[in-house]
Structure 1
Amino acid sequence: MISRSAADGVGTAGATAASSPYRVGAIVLAKPFVRGKSRLADLPSELRLQLSWAMLLDTCVAVTAVADELVVVSDEPRLQERLEPHLGRVTVLADPGGMNTAVAAAAATLPAGPTDVQVAVVADLPTLRPADVRHVVEQARQRGYVFVSDTEGVGTTMVASCGQRLESRFGKGSAAAHLAAGAALVATEFPTARRDVDLPADLAAAAQLSPGIHTSWLIERT
């Protein structure tokens, strides 16, 4: 466990929580690559597979710079052996069916003490930065239950909670669903935390935000 406190730059949710060590458990949700990015159908199928892998890897690299533990939920074959050379220790769970069920299954394996933070992240955030993840963790410690909306303000890219098992409301209209469930919207100035990629225009927009090295390498060749 990494011992952190308010002195590390994490916001205060009361003196006890601020001064107590805490752990960050992260969950990344990834479809099998053959099923991912179907709305990028204009790209060659092999390139879509490579893009799904590159975006997942860049997302995980940003997350593991902050998290103590990472659980990836996916039915992608051989994913653990592909990820570990890049990330070190990572747990891969089979998808139990549905994003919210996946979050619940992964959250059950992660620390959920009074000061611990759990954060779930979608796998297509190639521009995500460690500073983005750190900001969401800080907000969760201050406010208890938070989320980040996507660029359009309709979907969700990240959701986090402190001191409890994480529950999510991913799906159609998830930003409104998270608000209705009591999550606070993180007002982030970091567009890199909101730029998920579903459409060709999203990929072009991500390219302007300096995505991670694996996605950048592919974009340069498209």
Structure 2
Amino acid sequence: MVVPVKRLRAAKSRLRGALPAVPHEELALALAADTVGAALACPAVAGVLVVTADPRVAAAAGAAGARVVPDRPDAGLNAALRHGVDAAVTDGDRQTWVAALTADLPALRPAELAAALHAVTTGPPGVRRFVADAPGTGTALLAAPPGVPLDPRFGVGSAAAHRASGAVPLTGPWPSLRRDVDTAADLADAARLGLGPATRALTGVAVGPTGPTAPPG
């Protein structure tokens, strides 16, 4: 599993100011930490490789048990993913599936990721698969079978771009996988699903049966 993470000062710009009392870089780091932690806890994931040029991200990911490779300066998200895949395939002959996961999934549940990855590997052979985000325009997960390039098309309208490139969309009920966080409203939706420990510690939100509420006291 390849997870690209931007430098924290440049990450999640539309989320800036969502938590006025929390430094933006801390929030961006928490989102990535919870995403990586959920992927590491997923039994269907053999390993997590984080591509980043940010030393704080690298330290946190490495401490959690992920492999870390340095990003190439200003190369962009898709180049980072291709670099990560190349780094993961040390013998030049990939015999397993490879997947890319966005780093802004703080509510991600390992069981939902495992279910999505099972769906990925049980479809038609030789075809890339992807899971769109909650709005349906972006991409949360992209996977390629052995011998097939990942060919990432992340960016604005990536779901349509991946579909146009031949990737097959998967439509399973995986809300925590689909709930990427770009805005304050997205963060509130993720809180309703249940945030991971790093993001939850920053937000001070307790999730109850009717949604997020401020903790008592």
The number of residues matched between the two structures is 195
Match of 2:58 among 73, 80, 84: 80
Compute the RMSD of aligned alpha carbons.
1.9
For the residues of structure 1 that align with 2:79 and 2:14, how far apart are their CA atoms? 24
Query: Residue 99 of structure 1: CA displacement?
Result: 1.4
Q: Which amino acid aligns with 1:199?
A: T
| Runs of at least 5 residues in structure 2 that lack an aligned partner in the other structure | 206-213
| Map of 2:129 onto structure 1 | 146
> TM-score of the superposition, structure 1-length normalised?
0.80
| Map of 2:67 onto structure 1 | 90
Question: What does 1:2-41 align with in structure 2 at a 5 Å threshold?
Answer: 26-41=1-16
Q: Does 1:59 align with 2:35?
A: yes
On the 8 A contact 1:74/1:92 being kept in 2, the answer is yes
For the residues of structure 2 that align with 1:178 and 1:166, how far apart are their CA atoms? 10
Query: Residue 84 of structure 1: CA displacement?
Result: 2.3
For the residues of structure 2 that align with 1:94 and 1:205, how far apart are their CA atoms? 30
For the residues of structure 2 that align with 1:68 and 1:199, how far apart are their CA atoms? 31
Query: Residue 218 of structure 1: CA displacement?
Result: 1.2
Q: Which amino acid aligns with 1:41?
A: R
Query: Residue 39 of structure 1: CA displacement?
Result: 1.5
> TM-score of the superposition, structure 2-length normalised?
0.82
4+ runs of 1 displaced by more than 4 Å?
Answer: none
Q: Which amino acid aligns with 2:94?
A: G
| Map of 1:5 onto structure 2 | none
Task: For residue 108 of structure 1, give the secondary structure of its aligned residue in structure 2.
Answer: helix
Identity of aligned residues (%): 35
Q: Does 1:163 align with 2:141?
A: no
Q: Which amino acid aligns with 1:159?
A: L
Task: For residue 69 of structure 2, give the secondary structure of its aligned residue in structure 1.
Answer: strand
Match of 1:204 among 188, 192, 200: 188
| Map of 1:173 onto structure 2 | 157
CA distances 1:141-176 after superposition (whole Å, capped 9, x unpaired):
223311111111001111011113322110111000
